[in-house]
Amino acid sequence: MKFSTEELFDGIRSGNKRLIAKAITLVESKKSEHRVQAEELLKKIMPFTGNSIRVGVTGVPGAGKSTFIENFGRLAIANGKKVAVLAIDPSSAINKGSILGDKTRMEELAKEENAFIRPSPSSGFLGGVANTTFETMMICEAAGYDYILIETVGVGQSEVLVADITDVFLFLKIIGGGDELQGIKRGIMEMVDVIFINKVDADNLQKAKNTKLELKRALDFIPPKEKNWKIPVLLGSALHNEGLDEIFEKIDAFINLKKKNNRFEEVRIQQAEKRFEYWVQEYILAMMKRDDSVEEAYTEHKKNASAMVSNPSTEAKLFVEKFLRESRSDI
């Protein structure tokens, strides 16, 4: 990296987009010398983080996420806020078109002085896309962005990762042709805080109202993440700027409720603890895989466990003992 940590830090703090982008490239790098500088930089910016509202946005392709983010972001900017858009999109590495597509679709937002758009990292450090997204979010917060919108297309475990780093989780739904399950992934209903039925117009208004009613009924059987929060189901059209104000209101209401319940900071602390635990496991796993004989042992013991040659916990114990013996020589 040709920029010093100091230069990057000053660039971030003064809101220099070019240097913000450089800093993000740094934290996304897998090279070990870059990681060292990244850690240095992150430590330096940490006291300036935490002041944004972190919004997760999910929905199937076709639900209108990009249009939503574009117009929602512009509305926030019109209200005097700064908006950063990040993406957790494991599919983008495969389908390169989607990144370009997003950029094109968000071009109005991209022109805004107070917007910063970062396409998905092609792959993260240790394969942990969510980790670099979290670090990127820290950089954006230190740069003074008020809203961080994190988009996911819902591949694999990406919603869980997004839910674990955001304050509020927004689910964009379109009206399914009779099949209400369309675009609803397992687990998603337990994760959302606000639902927005998008692409509603005069032609499908009645249908949208019915879907809303059905969703409301379904939500009667799904406990919300926060006590006393009735998950709102809103109707609108992101393309025509309809219903977006209401989403801001609901997000504010949700954040206020969390703060009132002393849950806002509490949840962020829990998220950080969870991330710590996750990374302890990831690093231990990485250590295991550094050594061929340990990795082989892992595979073999796991195979024994799954074939029920013996008890999975017995196999786990045998493996861990072997691993800790072997790891002596590694350090």
**Residues at the site binding a copy of itself, with contacts judged by CB under 8 A:** 39, 42-43, 46, 49-50, 128, 131, 134-135, 138, 180-181, 184-187, 189-190, 214-215, 217-223, 225, 269-270, 272-273, 275-284, 287, 298, 301-302, 305-317, 319-321, 324-325, 327-328, 330-331
Minimum Å gap between C-beta 223 and a copy of itself is 5
Minimum Å gap between C-beta 109 and a copy of itself is 28
Minimum Å gap between C-beta 331 and a copy of itself is 6
User: Which C-beta is closer to a copy of itself: that of 77 or that of 188?
Assistant: 188
Helix axes 5-13, 17-28, angle to 10 degrees: 130
Minimum Å gap between C-beta 245 and a copy of itself is 26
Place of tokens 């675009």: 183
User: Which C-beta is closer to a copy of itself: that of 32 or that of 206?
Assistant: 32
- C-alpha gyration radius of the chain: 22
**Cα separations (Å) of 250 from 6, 52, 171, 236, 257?**
39, 16, 13, 14, 10
Cα 125 to Cα 105: distance, rounded to the nearest angstrom: 28
| Strand intervals (E) in 32-152 | 53-58, 83-88, 115-117, 147-152
Minimum Å gap between C-beta 33 and a copy of itself is 15
User: Which C-beta is closer to a copy of itself: that of 110 or that of 157?
Assistant: 157
Minimum Å gap between C-beta 174 and a copy of itself is 14
Place of tokens 């009779």: 178
User: Which C-beta is closer to a copy of itself: that of 4 or that of 270?
Assistant: 270
Cα 233 to Cα 237: distance, rounded to the nearest angstrom: 13
Place of tokens 């495969």: 94
Cα 164 to Cα 278: distance, rounded to the nearest angstrom: 11
User: Which C-beta is closer to a copy of itself: that of 31 or that of 317?
Assistant: 317
User: Which C-beta is closer to a copy of itself: that of 144 or that of 224?
Assistant: 224
Mapped onto helix, strand or coil, the DSSP state of residue 265 is: helix
Backbone angles phi, psi at 250, to 5 degrees: -70, -40
